[in-house]
Chains A and B, each alone.
Chain A
Amino acid sequence: MSAQFDRRRFMALSGLGLGATALAACSGPSTSGGSGATAAAATDWSKVKPAAKISFMSSHPGTSQPIEQTLIDAFQSANPDIKVDLITGGSNYEEVAQKFQTAQAGNNVPDVVVASDVWWFRYSLSSTIVPVDEILKAVNDKTSDYNTTLYDDYKYDNAHWAVPYARSTPLFYYNKDHFKAAGVPDRAPKSWEEFAQWAPKIKAANAGQPGYANAYQYPALAGYAGWTLQNVLWGYGGGWSKEWDITADSDATVKALQWVQDTIVKDGWAGVSSKDAVSDMTAGAVSSTVSSTGDLVGTIKAAKAKNMNIGVGFLPGGPVSTSPVCPTGGAGLVIAKKTSPERQLASAMFVSFMTNAANTAQFSAATGYMPVRTTADMSSVISKTPEIQVALDQLKVTKSQDYARVFLPGADQEMAKAAAKFMNEKADVKATMTALSATLEGIYNKDVKPKLKS
């Protein structure tokens, strides 16, 4: 082997030398200086001319690629001097976030990016996006007709960091035929207690069908378990956190999640989806589930194709609280910082256009996401898909999410892991949640607390 090894060693060593020189040229993060604060001088937007070309990176939430392209075309014909490239950044919010964050290492970041509830705050902490208040004023968007709850979800450090775009709440979806077969009322249950009465009947009445599994299917753990579980937690008076105080192991929280475990393990009428609970339902395997309003239009379409009747309703309440027990969610649009004032101004024009009253109504009609402006005329949308009315009504009784889920990096993943333990592996709820609390506490102290402004 010796001759070969000599050559190899030579190659390795020469590589080492060159590697060291090349290393000097690499562009990593800077370790000197402060936190890259937002102290930059305010731009005088009236002197800025919008750029000729910007890019929009999206995951097309709720299969929205066609409607996004339609709206972009409309924007381009209204502003012939600005061209917008639609970039597919992945199939979910996490993949888009990954691309946006890695793009920061280079010099070509996308201008407008879809950012979900758990991402915009992190971008604002790491200064990769700009606040939208001033710049929207510059493009004559008053922002006063944004739905206040949805817009204020993006408020931090006296500024808004995104505009609401594909905003959703969870909805209770049920198979009307299954409910009818069991002789229970044709509506969503008012409370989880009520559903617990119905569930065994529903399961018994439909168990004969091939492939039937459960009366209720919890959403897949990879699909934001921490988001929908807030409904049960709040109904029991618990939650992941109260502001920055982690309450994931409080008595109320543990009691709520114990109930969740019982529905699967003890009572046996509920299951956990492996991939997508709505698909499980349109496959006829389960009678009900909780899923985003963003799935509404697609689900109704899928059900119709199979001659299945799907109903929707408010999320059920709990023994302590019956309302509000519904979290808001979904995604907004953020404007990247590492570009130029010209591109940022064009981006502001674009986000304002995408979310104006007429376009948010169109977007809502195509997907089921909420209209984000109070001035949006939804009458034609509702006449076509009456179920959207339920989502609109529920929007009035929503609550912003627990800080621990949306503001702690990785918290959603940790919640899903904890849920996997007590939902699938029958682990002790109290012990699992105590461990989760400690983890969340650790993330807060290490990754968030030192970076908070004020």
Chain B
Amino acid sequence: MSWLDASSAHAATEAMDEGDDGGPDQGARPGPGAGRRGRMKPPKSGAARNGSRRRTAGKYWTPRAKREAWVFLALALPNIVLIAFFTYRPLFANMYYSTLDWTLGSSVATAVGWGNYVEFFTSSDASTVLGITAIFTIATVGGAMFLGLLVAIALNAKVKGQGFARSAVFAPYVLSGVGVGLVWLFIFDPVYGVLSWILRGFGASSPQWINDPKLALVMVIIVYVWKNLGYCAVIYLAGLQSMPKDLMEAASLDGAGSFRRFMSITLPLLSPTTFFILITSLLSSLQAFDIIRIMTRTGNGTNTLIFESYLQAFSTYNRAGYSAAISVVLFVLLLLLTGAQLRFVERKVHYS
């Protein structure tokens, strides 16, 4: 349960911070092409709407304002109830569980206050788990964004078969993580994997991808980047295609080379896209679960915060309270990260 709680907790962060009323994951991710004109853009009508709301909130409840209030409630209430029940209820229940010493499945538990948190932060678990989480997140977000941008630039070129190429790049993103994990296991398996077969052709032996914790982390990072690269690429591509041509032409006339044009015009103009991808992929990387669970069942070297939280409750430890504490740590981390991004990083974003 606490794992479920954790994931809905994250859905909560997403919902709150992205202003997405739909709640769970999918809602927060725009389809292909929704890219640059995503919801990070300040609405132009802001001032006007503010005005009307101030009037409603004033002293007088005119019949019209009353009616509007009812309409508002009728439209918003179903959503609020859903969010409250499926997001906030588990979120707060999870926080409560994190103060218990509770064996999963047991009907009784002992309250231990901050005990689980103290244990997590004073044991060596904290540094290992947070370190692995940091490496995994930075590598997957950075890797997918960098490669995604390169792929988007390549796909932006007008060549034959670009439609096919675009779908091919995006395809892994729609695949089920479990399927992807299983297939890649057949590639990485040191005994009968495809990779080891190729390596043997060169007379080399396969590295212990699964058994060596460091390589296991590298392995899941590779697979995760492969799977999510398409997402970044498609959104970058949408950004690239709405690039104003006149600016480019003007720059060319002024004698800027293609590299200079990219650095000084394309990249700054892509900054809203970059910002959007940064937030969404950071959130999804911190919650990455399926591939890690399938490829490295014991979490040896790949126990990121969310996976450690799962392992503690469900693998063999059954420490539901401790697991809940770890997912609260993850929740707070996500909240801080997203808050910091909205506050500081967005300042550097250019809206054309």
Contacts and interface: CB of A to CB of B under 8 A. Distances in A.
B314 A274 contact: no
Given A102-B1, A417-B298, A279 B88 contact: no
Interface in A268-296: 272-275, 279-280, 283, 285-286
B288 interface: no
A274 B210 contact: yes
Interface string B106-150: 111111000000000000000000000000000000000000000
Contacts of A423: 211
A275 B185 contact: yes
Nearest to B20: A8
A412 B311 CA distance: 13
Contact of A8 (B16, B43, B191, B298): B16
B103 A126 contact: yes
A186 to B, nearest CB: 24
Interface in B179-218: 185, 188-192, 196-197, 200, 205, 208-213
A102 B104 contact: yes
Interface string A398-439: 000000000001111100110010011100000000000000
Nearest to A443: B317
Contact of A11 (B83, B110, B210, B300): B83
A19 B200 CA distance: 58
A222 B297 contact: yes
Interface stretch (B45-53, B241-249, B261-269, B275-283): B45-53
A453 to B, nearest CB: 15
Given A1-B42, A22-B88, A28-B93, A127 B109 contact: no
A15 B87 contact: yes
Interface string A9-46: 00110111111101100101111011110000000000
B108 A35 contact: yes
Interface in B91-105: 91-93, 96-97, 100, 102-105
Contacts of A8: 16, 19
Given A3-B45, A274-B191, A275-B210, A104 B89 contact: no
Chain A residues touching B, majority SS: helix
Nearest to B311: A413
Contacts of A101: 104-105, 314, 318
Contact of B317 (A7, A22, A409): A409
B316 interface: yes
Contacts of B298: 221-222, 413, 416-417, 420
B84 interface: yes
B189 A275 contact: yes
A211 interface: yes
Q: Which residue, of B91, B106, B318, has the highest number of chain A Cβ atoms within 10 A?
A: B106
Contacts of B100: 28-29, 31
B81 interface: yes
A280 B191 CA distance: 7
B209 A274 contact: yes
B252 interface: no
Nearest to B318: A409
Interface in B269-311: 297-298, 300, 311
Contacts of A77: none
Given A14-B80, A22-B89, A128-B106, A4 B19 contact: yes
Given A1-B42, A274-B191, A15 B83 contact: yes
Given A20-B92, A105-B1, A283 B191 contact: yes
Contacts of A413: 298, 311, 315-317
A111 B45 CA distance: 60
Contact of B19 (A7, A122, A123, A411): A7
B319 interface: yes
Nearest to B185: A275
A370 interface: no
A118 interface: yes
Contacts of A20: 92
A98 interface: yes
A280 B317 contact: no
A94 interface: yes
Contacts of A126: 103, 105-107
B85 interface: yes
B127 to A, nearest CB: 15
Contacts of B68: none
A127 B189 CA distance: 41
Contacts of B318: 101, 122, 409-410
A413 B312 CA distance: 10
Given A19-B89, A98-B314, A221-B298, A31 B103 contact: no
A4 B300 contact: no
Nearest to B53: A6
B315 A273 contact: no
B273 to A, nearest CB: 17
A444 interface: no
A359 to B, nearest CB: 29
A412 B300 CA distance: 13
Contacts of A425: 212-213
B81 A410 contact: no
Contact of B93 (A7, A23, A118): A23
5 contacts: A1-B46, A28-B97, A29-B109, A98-B314, A410-B317
Q: Nearest 6 CB-CB pairs, A to B?
A: A19-B88, A101-B105, A18-B84, A410-B317, A126-B106, A29-B109
Interface of A: 1-8, 11-12, 14-20, 22-23, 26, 28-31, 33-36, 94, 98, 100-102, 104-105, 118, 122-123, 125-128, 210-211, 213, 221-222, 272-275, 279-280, 283, 285-286, 409-413, 416-417, 420, 423-425, 447
Given A14-B84, A15-B87, 12 more contacts: A11-B80, A12-B16, A29-B107, A29-B109, A30-B107, A34-B108, A128-B107, A211-B191, A221-B298, A274-B191, A275-B189, A409-B318
